[in-house]
Amino acid sequence: MKNEECIFCKITRKEIPSTIIFENDLNLAFLDIFPISKGHTIVIPKKHYITLEDITNYELNELYKTVKKIATMIHEKLDIDGYNILQNNFTAAGQVVKHFHVQIIPRNIDDDTFRVKIPRNQANKSELNTVLKKLEL
């Protein structure tokens, strides 16, 4: 499945230039043109899926093998302290390109380009149980 208007599909078809750092039959990894940090990489399946809910389990597993390979390479070769793996689904979560993708964002201890804010308000047992009841299968 391909989407004719999708920018990432155009990249996989080589209709738009990109800086590809890895490619196999299923996946493509390229440097982000609007990087949060040096080496910011996008890993995509070549088939067009919009969100995590759409991609097949097989292709998801293969994609994350690629993510691991590329993240390890970035960590070893770019002299960084760590990296974030980011994957957004739907507009409310920050997904801009409607093609399933994983971002690898290189990090250093002293950088301030990207921060994840983690709330420090502990949920009470009643709130947790309410959510649990909604999620029970």
pLDDT digits (tens, 9 = 90+) for 76-115: 999 999 999 999 999 999 999 999 999 999 999 989 887 7
pLDDT over 90 percentage in the chain: 86
Most distant pair of Cα atoms in the chain: their distance: 53
Mean pLDDT of the chain: 95
| Residue 111 in domain | yes
For the chain, the domain total comes to 1
For residue 100, the Cα-to-chain-centroid distance in whole angstroms is 8
| Residue 36 in domain | yes
CATH of the domain at 96: 3.30.428.10
- Known catalytic membership, residue 101: yes
Q: What is the pLDDT of residue 79?
A: 92
Per-residue pLDDT band for 119 (boundaries 50, 70, 90) equals: confident
- Asked if the model's pLDDT at residue 116 lies above 90, the reply is no
| Residue 1 in domain | no
Q: Phi/psi at 51 (nearest 5 deg)? A: -130, 175
CA distance 115 to 66: 25
CA distance 136 to 101: 29
Strand partners, 41: 31, 104
- Give the domain range for residue 123: 7-135
Regarding predicted confidence, which is higher, 99 or 1?
99
- 40, 48, 99, 101: which is the annotated catalytic residue? 101
| Residue 75 in domain | yes
Residue range 56-74: average pLDDT? 98
Q: What is the pLDDT of residue 1?
A: 54
